[in-house]
Structures are given as C-alpha cells and as structure tokens.
C-alpha cells in the first residue's frame, strides 16, 4: 500500500513508519535531519513540509499526486501541544491551532481530489482523548481536537459517497516527547503507569488499516486501564 504519514520524524509518526515497514511509505515533517534519517531507515520517499503553510501543503501534495498513481492511506499524525497553564503565549497557541487543525484539514482537502478520482482511500486522523472528553486546564488544545471530530463528522458522507473512509483515533497520553517539547517533564514512573506506548497506538492504527473495504471505523478510543482503577 502507498501510505502517507505526517509528523514522521519523531514520536508516534516514527513508530508508525517502523510498524508499516514493507509498505510504500511517503513521510512528511518539517525537521529535515530527523525526517531524512527515518526515510533512510525505511528506504522511502520523504518531503520536508511545514503543515502551517498553505503554500507548502499544496506544493507537496501536488508533487505526491503527480508522482504516484494511487494513494491508499493518509495518516494525519503531526500534532502540537502547548502548556497552557504555564503562560499565555498567543504565538504558541496559534501554531498549535494551525498544526492540529489546519495541518489535518489542509492535507485531507489537498489529497481529496486524488481520493475521489480513484474512488478509494482511507484517512486516519490521530486525534486525542481531549477531542471527545473534557480535560481541565488545556481548553485550546481540546478545541483543536474537537474541531477535527467536527470535520470528520461533516465530511464523512461526502467521502463515503466516493468510497473513501475516514477514522479518528483517540488515544490518551502517549509515551512521546510531546510534553517535554514545551517544558513539561512528568515523573518517569507515573508517566509510564498512566500513558500508552507508541507501539500500542501503532497497532490500533494497523487494525483500522487492515479492516475489510466495506468496514468503516468512524472513531476508536484507546485508554490506559490504570486511569479507571
């Protein structure tokens, strides 16, 4: 399968590239050094792209569709998080909104003509538990994830009429450096006890990808059982 993964240079995106080895991968990220390393490990194409830029998203998607006869899966994995409790930084909030919302919508809409032309395809959005449950303290982050839920619900019929599937994956906290990037370091023991491994989420995504063509998983919520004890 031809699979596009955004945010592939690190974290869950990098784990997905590893899990999907054997498929024809196309990796996207803004960090060229790390992205090139992952692409070399998986012997696949890569494109440096800032998902907050409409021009870059359009350019990269055109290059991809011009080069490839078919795209089977788009995984919108790129994401950003801001420690909203630390300080009010509108530039950081704006970037998070653009990455989480525009990045997902921009990639989807730019590739939609290709999916419609081939009358097939699967779009997977790596959302969050925050997209379906209230989480105190991070209202803007929650809003970005809720926006993607609304987007999926409003576009799914149009996609379905063209035999295109769309799935939201809603994990809880994942064992990545997403929080560390904005200065938050959780105690290791507690973090591991209440979070989900990248491999767990990657396996859930593989489950969604491997469903029969007539089976649509609209939304898949994944939680660590320790949070319920």
Domain residue ranges in the chain: 2-228
CATH number of 2-228: 3.40.50.720
Instruction: Please say if the pLDDT value at position 65 is more than 80.
Output: yes
Instruction: Please say if the pLDDT value at position 25 is more than 80.
Output: yes
Q: What is the pLDDT of residue 228?
A: 45
Active site residue 47: no
* Cβ-proximal residues to 165 (8 Å cutoff; 6+ apart), any chain: 121, 122, 123, 159, 216, 217
**Of 17, 6, 34, which Cα lies nearest the Cα of 124?**
6
Instruction: Please say if the pLDDT value at position 191 is more than 60.
Output: no
DSSP 98: I
Q: What value does the mean pLDDT of the chain take?
A: 90
pLDDT band at 197 (very low <50, low <70, confident <90, very high): confident
Q: What is the pLDDT of residue 229?
A: 42
How many helices (H) and strands (E) would you count in the chain? 8, 7
pLDDT band at 86 (very low <50, low <70, confident <90, very high): confident
Q: Which of 47, 141, 186, 194 is catalytic?
A: 141
Mean pLDDT to the nearest integer, 13-29: 95
- List alpha helices for the chain, DSSP H: 11-19, 32-42, 54-67, 90-97, 103-118, 139-160, 188-194, 198-209
Q: Are 43 and 157 in contact (CB under 8 A)?
A: no
**Which residues share a beta bridge with 2?**
24
pLDDT band at 213 (very low <50, low <70, confident <90, very high): confident
pLDDT band at 93 (very low <50, low <70, confident <90, very high): very high
Mean pLDDT to the nearest integer, 152-167: 96
Burial 31-69 (b: 16+ CB within 10 A, else e): eeeebeebbeebebbbbbbbbbbeebbeebbeebbeeee
Distance CA(16)–CA(21), nearest Å, equals 8
Q: Are 130 and 141 in contact (CB under 8 A)?
A: yes
Tokens representing residue 218 in the block: 């609209």
State percent of the chain over pLDDT 90.
Answer: 73
Q: Are 58 and 51 in contact (CB under 8 A)?
A: no
Report helix angle 198-209 to 11-19, nearest 10.
50
pTM, two decimals, is: 0.91
Query: Among 24-38, 50-64, 74-88, 178-192, which is the least confidently predicted range?
Result: 178-192
**Of 56, 32, 52, 39, which Cα lies nearest the Cα of 5?**
39
């Amino acid at each position: 399968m031809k699979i596009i993964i955004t945010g592939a240079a690190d974290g869950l995106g990098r784990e997905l590239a590893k899990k999907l080895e054997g498929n024809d991968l196309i990796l996207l990220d803004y960090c060229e050094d790390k992205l090139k390393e992952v692409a070399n490990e998986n012997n696949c194409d890569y494109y440096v792209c800032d998902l907050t830029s409409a021009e870059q998203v359009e350019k990269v998607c055109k290059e991809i569709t011009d080069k490839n006869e078919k795209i089977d899966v788009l995984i919108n994995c790129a994401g950003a998080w801001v420690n909203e409790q630390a300080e009010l930084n509108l530039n950081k909030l704006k970037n998070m909104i653009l990455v989480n919302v525009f990045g997902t919508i921009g990639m989807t809409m730019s590739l939609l003509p290709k999916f419609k032309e081939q009358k097939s395809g699967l779009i997977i959005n790596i959302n969050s538990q925050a997209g379906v449950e209230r989480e105190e303290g991070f209202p803007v982050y929650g809003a970005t994830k809720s926006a993607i839920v609304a987007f999926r619900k409003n576009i799914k019929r149009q996609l379905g009429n063209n035999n295109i599937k769309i799935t939201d994956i809603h994990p809880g906290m994942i064992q990545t450096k997403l929080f560390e990037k904005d200065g938050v370091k959780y105690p290791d023991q507690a973090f591991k006890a209440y979070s989900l491994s990248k491999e767990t989420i990657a396996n859930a995504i593989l489950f969604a990808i491997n469903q029969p063509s007539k089976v649509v998983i609209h939304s898949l919520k994944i939680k660590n059982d320790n949070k319920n004890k």
